[in-house]
Amino acid sequence: MFRKASIDDCMTVYQLICDMEAETLHYFRFQEIFKKQLNDDTRYECIVCEENETVIGILNLRYEEQLHHAENIAEVMEFVVASEYRNKGIGRKMFAYACEQAIKKMDVFK
């Protein structure tokens, strides 16, 4: 159900994020940034949720050290579930999965 996003997911992730933002973003710039983030798995992790081989949700994490925490942190940057799949517990499960992934990643940084 959950997996790391790939470049093949770019258009679907783009559409979900445009829906979340209620605006049409510049696709080629979006694609550039998406590729850059996918290639930097130290700082970013994009998780997608699939149902019947269709991406229905995305949760994008950024990892960094923050002075005001004096620690490594994981920050949710984008998080959206397709409107027809909302209110079914998918977001809650995605968030729990992302937390598990972040804890594993943080253990590597220590």
pLDDT of residue 108: 62
Block residue for tokens 């999965």: 97
Mean pLDDT by runs of 10 across the 110 residues of the chain is: 97 97 97 98 95 96 89 93 96 96 76
From CA 33, how far away is CA 27, in angstroms rounded? 10
pLDDT of residue 104: 87
The structure's pTM equals: 0.91
Domain spans of the chain?
2-109
From CA 101, how far away is CA 20, in angstroms rounded? 23
pLDDT of residue 109: 58
Distances (CA, A) of 45 to 22, 23, 61: 23, 23, 5
Question: Between 3.40.50.1820, 3.40.630.30, 3.40.50.150, 3.40.640.10, what CATH number should domain 2-109 receive?
Answer: 3.40.630.30
- For residue 32, count other CB atoms closer than 10 A to its CB: 11
